[in-house]
Amino acid sequence: MNAHPLEDQLRRPIRDLRISVTDRCNFRCSYCMPRELFGDDYAFMPSSEQLTFEEIERLAGLFVALGVRKLRLTGGEPLLRRNLSGLTARLCKMDGVEDIGLTTNGILLRQHAEALYEAGLRRLNISLDGLDPELFGRINGRGVKPETVLRQIDHAVDTGFEVKVNMVVKRGLNESELLPMAGYFKDRGITLRFIEFMDVGGGNGWSMEHVVTKREMLERLQSVYELEALDRHYFGEVAKRYRYKGSEAQVGFITSVSESFCSSCTRARLSSDGKFYTCLFASGGLDLRRLLRSGADDDSLLAAITEVWEHRADRYSDERTEQTQQQRSKIGMSYIGG
């Protein structure tokens, strides 16, 4: 275990590693993988280009040696990766890993929940962008009804998972679902997190005009509920958390547009084909798969990761404007993970 965690140019330690296990997804959400760009004939990554579970485990161990304590499995839709519970079991047993979670749209949870729980996974983030059947079906691009996801959420809770629900909020699309979603999950004691519409990739038509800010969302909730602000749990916590007064239920806000949190970002990202990225809005990354498959030893890999992180000075959300967003080419969220 590293006694001196790796820090970047802004003294931000490396503490979280997000591991994308596949670029494939069974949804076509308009803010992430719009159908017009990811059609039925879209050529996803061949399996030979994906990191094997052995390669993921090896790289995760190196990141842990440099200070990472939290892992999150993402995609695409991670449950599309075959035998994901096998990888999860390996990572859960890794010395130095204090927390591991998984982000999913939930559609396949009933098939995999028990195996993942037995592997050691305890935390799930499940995406759901509204309760209106027609609207949600249009957002996910597959016509899937919210009731399908809600049944999977219930199954996950019954299995024993700690569940948080993520809702991306886009003006002109689903801001009308704020209060219905808040009421539904408050009554069930499940934490709901509202995510400001972000300019990930280059194909989701992002504009500041489409952003419903945390301030506006909070005001809408406070018109109905009395909320108490909560202190953050740890350095680098992303969500700004509130508790419904008189209840243990919580709601959170991910504010990467209106109240950026670059100054405390501790997250590294590993794509399914082995690229190491230092920012969700990155334009490029270090090809660790190439180093792995060319026979690099652990010391060489550690040196390469260290060099990239120590030179890291990413502050995209702090510096974002309409102009910089249009000028910068960014990796898609479906490829790099959320």
pLDDT of 233 reads 83
pLDDT of 108 reads 97
pLDDT of 1 reads 47
253: helix, coil or strand?
strand
Q: 303: Cβ–Cβ under 8 A, 6 or more apart, which residues?
A: none
Q: pTM for the full model? A: 0.93
pLDDT of 321 reads 59
How crowded is residue 264: how many other Cβ atoms within 10 Å of its Cβ? Answer: 15
Choose the CATH number for 16-336 among 3.40.50.2300, 3.20.20.70, 1.10.287.610, 3.40.50.11810.
Answer: 3.20.20.70
| Identity of the amino acid at 84 | L
Render pLDDT for 226-275 as a digit per residue (tens, 0 to 9): 999 999 888 888 899 999 999 999 999 999 899 998 999 999 999 999 99
Listing DSSP states for 69-103 in one string gives -EEEEESS-GGGSTTHHHHHHHHHTSTT--EEEEE
When pLDDT is cut at 50, 70 and 90, the band that residue 283 belongs to is confident
Distance CA 196, CA 99 (A): 25
Render pLDDT for 141-171 as a digit per residue (tens, 0 to 9): 999 999 999 999 999 999 999 999 999 999 9
pLDDT of 4 reads 62
Distance CA 226, CA 223 (A): 8
